[in-house]
């Protein structure tokens, strides 16, 4: 008899029933668009926003999706498969920008339809999720169901030749034997997860504090300064979303070739470069007539740099750095950190603009530099490695003295004798 869904055995708590948890959160996400459809036509934006409160469950769905993709993919394609989550996130941004054009649903009379437009992909997702198999790792490691795990592997790979991968899962299962699923606060108390947790906190915070979300606030004014007509600015904004979508595709194609560290370091270094040029262009835009064009170019270059690395790679760190028992809690911590940082940026950015004026991007540049340095010095490469190999490497990094081998504990060696 199935147990009731409480915190102790919830999908994210136990790392299991990933698709069931995704279906549940999708149902809650649909409550917001449905409530928008019930809003009177022509209602104000404030009245429309009273309904979509249940869509905050989307944050849970954003955690479950990359976890399922990362657990189900083969190690050779794990990065590319997990990056599809970032691709569809960027695609959603572009679709939202297109649907929000004044010629479509961007008018003041169409707010309910605009906010309810996400009902379509939500229904498609809800209809397709039951057709997917459960995560093989969950089936074998958490449930101990070898037969169902084998069937899920064969269905996902499209072949019956999966015994090598099944043997790797058995080794990972043996390594997790006797352990229980960890709670979020226990991650901070476990010394064996020290580097993983620090990497998750630092890089998750850097992704939200790097200034990519804030640059959209400058985009409209910069485009107007560059001479783009007011009625055409909205089309330039769509171009920024297309830039992020393009780089998400490129990153997906190369992530399993060049590795995670290269994309992260390259993305943050390029963001530092273009952010610095953007700051100079803002300071000198009244002195040189071509400076607004340079600032507009920097906006597109900054967004392209963000999409190359931090936008997608950061989201799969929790999958690869943590084992099966700690992965769900890691995603809860990562999701909470990202949303908290995003809230702080939205809350503090107007005050930064007022206090720092054209130098508002200097703090964000510092975050980009820190993200690049941390990735270069402390983040291990996970490309092409099994989860067990990654865990063993992190174990050596967390306990370097234990990995040096046993020391001589016998009698002291006599180097000289006396006749």
Cβ-Cβ contacts under 8 Å for 32 (sequence gap 6 or more) = 51, 52, 53, 54, 55, 115, 118
**Closest by alpha carbon to 363, among 339, 345, 347, 336?**
345
Cα-only R_g, the chain: 25
Confidence of residue 3 (pLDDT cuts 50, 70, 90): very low
Alpha helices in 210-309 (DSSP H): 212-225, 233-258, 260-284, 291-308
Please give the mean pLDDT across all residues of the chain.
Answer: 79
Q: What percent of the chain clears pLDDT 70, i.e. is strictly above it?
A: 81
The structure tokens listed for 403 are 């990995």
**Closest by alpha carbon to 331, among 196, 211, 208?**
196
Mean pLDDT lowest among 65-74, 99-108, 275-284, 387-396: 99-108
The arithmetic mean of pLDDT across residues 56-75, rounded, is: 75
What is the Cα–Cα distance from 64 to 270, expressed in whole angstroms? 30
The arithmetic mean of pLDDT across residues 378-397, rounded, is: 89
Decide if 377 contacts 220 (C-beta within 8 A): no
More confident residue, 416 or 240: 240
Helix (H) / strand (E) containing 70? helix 58-72
pTM over 0.75: yes
Confidence of residue 35 (pLDDT cuts 50, 70, 90): low
pLDDT at residue number 37: 52
The arithmetic mean of pLDDT across residues 194-206, rounded, is: 92
User: In this model, does residue 166 exceed pLDDT 70?
Assistant: yes
């Amino acid at each position: 008899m199935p147990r009731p869904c409480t915190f102790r055995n919830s999908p994210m708590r136990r790392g299991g029933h990933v698709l069931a948890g995704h279906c549940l959160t999708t149902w809650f996400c649909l409550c917001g668009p449905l409530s928008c459809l019930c809003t009177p036509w022509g209602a104000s934006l404030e009245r429309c926003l009273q309904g979509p409160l249940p869509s905050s469950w989307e944050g849970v769905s954003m955690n479950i999706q990359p976890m399922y993709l990362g657990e189900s993919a083969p190690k050779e394609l794990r990065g590319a498969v997990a990056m599809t989550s970032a691709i569809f996130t960027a695609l959603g941004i572009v679709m939202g920008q297109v649907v929000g054009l004044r010629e479509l649903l961007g008018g003041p009379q169409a707010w309910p339809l605009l906010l309810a437009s996400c009902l379509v992909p939500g229904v498609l997702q809800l209809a397709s999720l039951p057709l997917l198999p459960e995560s093989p790792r969950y089936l074998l490691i958490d449930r101990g169901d070898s037969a169902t795990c084998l069937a899920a592997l064969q269905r996902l790979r499209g072949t019956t030749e999966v015994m090598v991968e099944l043997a790797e899962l058995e080794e990972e299962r043996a390594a997790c034997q006797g352990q229980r699923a960890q709670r979020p606060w226990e991650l901070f108390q476990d010394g064996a997860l020290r580097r993983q947790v620090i990497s998750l906190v630092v890089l998750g915070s850097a992704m939200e504090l790097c200034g990519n979300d804030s640059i959209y606030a400058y985009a409209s004014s910069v485009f107007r300064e560059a001479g783009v007509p007011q009625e055409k600015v909205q089309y330039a904004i769509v171009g920024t979303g297309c830039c992020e979508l393009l780089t998400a595709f490129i990153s997906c194609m190369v992530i399993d070739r060049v590795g995670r560290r290269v994309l992260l370091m390259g993305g943050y270094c390029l963001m530092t470069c273009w952010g610095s040029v953007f700051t100079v262009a803002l300071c000198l835009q009244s002195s040189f007539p071509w400076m607004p064009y340079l600032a507009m170019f920097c906006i597109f270059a900054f967004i392209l740099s963000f999409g190359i690395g931090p936008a997608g790679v950061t989201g799969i760190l929790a999958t690869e750095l943590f084992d099966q028992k700690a992965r769900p809690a890691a995603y809860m911590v990562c999701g909470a950190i990202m949303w908290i940082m995003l809230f702080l940026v939205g809350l503090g950015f107007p005050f930064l603009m007022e206090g720092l004026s054209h130098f508002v991007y200097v703090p964000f540049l510092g975050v980009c530099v820190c993200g690049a340095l941390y990735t270069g010095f402390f983040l291990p490469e996970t490309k092409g490695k099994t989860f067990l190999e990654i865990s063993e490497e992190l174990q050596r990094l967390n306990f370097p003295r234990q990995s040096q081998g046993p020391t001589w504990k016998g009698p002291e060696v006599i180097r000289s004798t006396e006749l």
